[in-house]
Amino acid sequence: YVSQGAAAAAVAIALAAAIRDGGGAAVGLDWGDCSTGARWLPRARSPLWEPQVADFFPALAGWGSVPDDEAAQATAPAEEAPPRRAPFAPLARESDITAERFAELAALGQPFIVEDAGRDLPLLGLSCEEYARRWPNGSMRAEYLEGEEWGGEWGFFRDEAEGENKVPLDNGLWWHAPRPARPRRGIEQHMAAEADAAEGGAAPRLTAPYIWHVKDQEPLSTKRSVQRVWRAPYFAARSPLAAWEASESFELWFSLPGGGTMAHGDAYGEVTVSLQLRGVKRWRMMMVPPSPIGIDTSDGGVYSSGRWAPEYEARVGPGEALVFPPGYLHETFVRPADNPDGGCTVATTFQMAAPAASRYLHAWLPRLAQTNLQTEERLISSEWSVLALAGLPRQAAAALRRRQTPEARRGPLPEEAPFSPEEHAEAVLAAADADGS
């Protein structure tokens, strides 16, 4: 057991050590024209100091046709906040990625794409209709559901235990019949608006997606049935801890052409991977912008702040995976032009317990603490408490995982995927290492 006071003390010690030791070392990344150094807490800086986004992330070095004035972003009223609209920065695209390269990018929090993530995966290419046929008793969340759509032939129902609107997988409609998303303020900022304008549409339209929470909202028998054919990609399968976390945290996203999600940040304190299994999806992403009152990171919340200015746009096709750090804002769109067959698209999203986004969390903790990473995930009192547990045996490390991971709280850690003392030590060192030495 570690109290929040002990965790806070560990954070203070780590920050003080980073400042005392200077933390000015640069971490060079071999990234062609995008190569730069990520700089850490300089000597004599306040613990609340943060770097400039364009100085920190290698892909954003020299990026943008408008000034990246984060001071103005943070202090200006929402309607006057200078946007950072510019040609999108390039994302690294990796194949046959090594464990060292993956850890390097993950620690920095640099989003990137793994082009061969889907190799040898049984679910690659499986149609939405086939999911309904194999698991007819499953139910999934109907995103952006309108109240008048409840019931009827769609079979929508309210899951009071989860506080969500659900639809059965076997209703025979969702994989081919578009369902308009509930209107949301600021939706004209979504990339769907550009597609609609190109087609002569007067207003942006977004088809609502579905998310199947296999990880924590299905009976254990259904979860185990899906797990038998769901397989972690090769870069996650290298580590027993990462493979177990992936298998226990995955969910499946289904979207028709014209579908997508509004800009939001996920409340996960770990690296997230979205692996496209069928069809093509586009992503736009940005670091949480500075704000004196924090940013609403729920779906579409950032639109009303006037600070939605994506840094990247990524086209992710079948077998490719997009990897991004905790809290990174993103919106998605299944562009009809990218999916000319009109079929339902499938992606699976999961978290990786290792490697951690350690340098990213060190650099951006003050900003991230104002998002749902703190209000929902308790980032400071949970993720950072690992600093106070260095050197504890496997049993204590396993207890930490059970307490910190909602899915893990539902059952014991499997013996075939132990959290070894070596992996625990590596996680602790990565979290506490401010300068990469």
pLDDT tens string 277-322: 999 999 999 999 887 777 888 888 898 888 899 999 999 999 999 9
| Overall pTM surpassing 0.85 (yes/no) | no
Sign of the dihedral through C-alpha 5, 7, 8, 14: positive
The pLDDT of residue 206: 87
From the list 363, 265, 293, the residue with the least C-alpha distance to 75 is: 293
Segment among 61-75, 171-185, 186-200 with least mean pLDDT: 61-75
Helix axes 99-108, 358-368, angle to 10 degrees: 20
Residue 385 CA to residue 8 CA, distance in Å, equals: 8
Beta bridge partners of 284: 313, 331
How many residues appear in the chain? 437
Tell me if 319 is assigned to some domain: yes
211: three-class secondary structure by DSSP: strand
Tell me if 64 is assigned to some domain: no
Question: 101: part of which helix (H) or strand (E)?
Answer: helix 99-108
Tell me if 337 is assigned to some domain: yes
Would you put residue 280 in left (φ > 0), alpha (ψ -120 to 50) or beta?
Answer: beta
List alpha helices for 201-303, DSSP H.
220-227, 234-237, 240-249
Q: How confident is the model at residue 61 (pLDDT cuts 50, 70, 90)?
A: confident
Domain that holds residue 136: 99-386
216: three-class secondary structure by DSSP: coil
Work out whether strand 92-94 and strand 112-114 pair parallel, antiparallel, or are unpaired.
parallel
Distances (CA, A) of 292 to 73, 78, 105, 263, 295: 9, 11, 29, 20, 9
Tell me if 16 is assigned to some domain: no
Q: How far is CA 333 from the centre of its chain?
A: 15
CB 185 within 8 A of CB 300: yes
Residue with tokens 């209000």: 375
Tell me if 239 is assigned to some domain: yes
Between 420 and 9, the more confident residue is: 420
For 6-59, write each residue's pLDDT tens digit. Answer: 444 444 444 444 433 333 333 333 333 333 444 444 445 666 788 888 889 988
Q: Which residues have a Cβ under 8 Å from the Cβ of 324 and sit 6 or more positions away? A: 109, 111, 271, 272, 274, 285, 330
Residue 315 CA to residue 169 CA, distance in Å, equals: 27
Cα Rg of the chain (Å, integer)? 21
Q: Which of 184-188, 248-252, 351-355 has the highest mean pLDDT?
A: 248-252
Residue 29 CA to residue 36 CA, distance in Å, equals: 7
Between 253 and 83, the more confident residue is: 253
The tokens of 360 are what? Answer: 């990213």
For 81-138, write each residue's pLDDT tens digit. Answer: 444 455 788 889 999 999 999 999 999 999 999 999 999 999 999 999 999 999 999 9
Question: 9: part of which helix (H) or strand (E)?
Answer: helix 4-20
Tell me if 137 is assigned to some domain: yes
Tell me if 226 is assigned to some domain: yes
The pLDDT of residue 310: 92
Domain count, the chain: 1
Whether 421 has a pLDDT exceeding 50, the answer reads no
Tell me if 323 is assigned to some domain: yes
Give the domain CATH number at 229.
Answer: 2.60.120.650
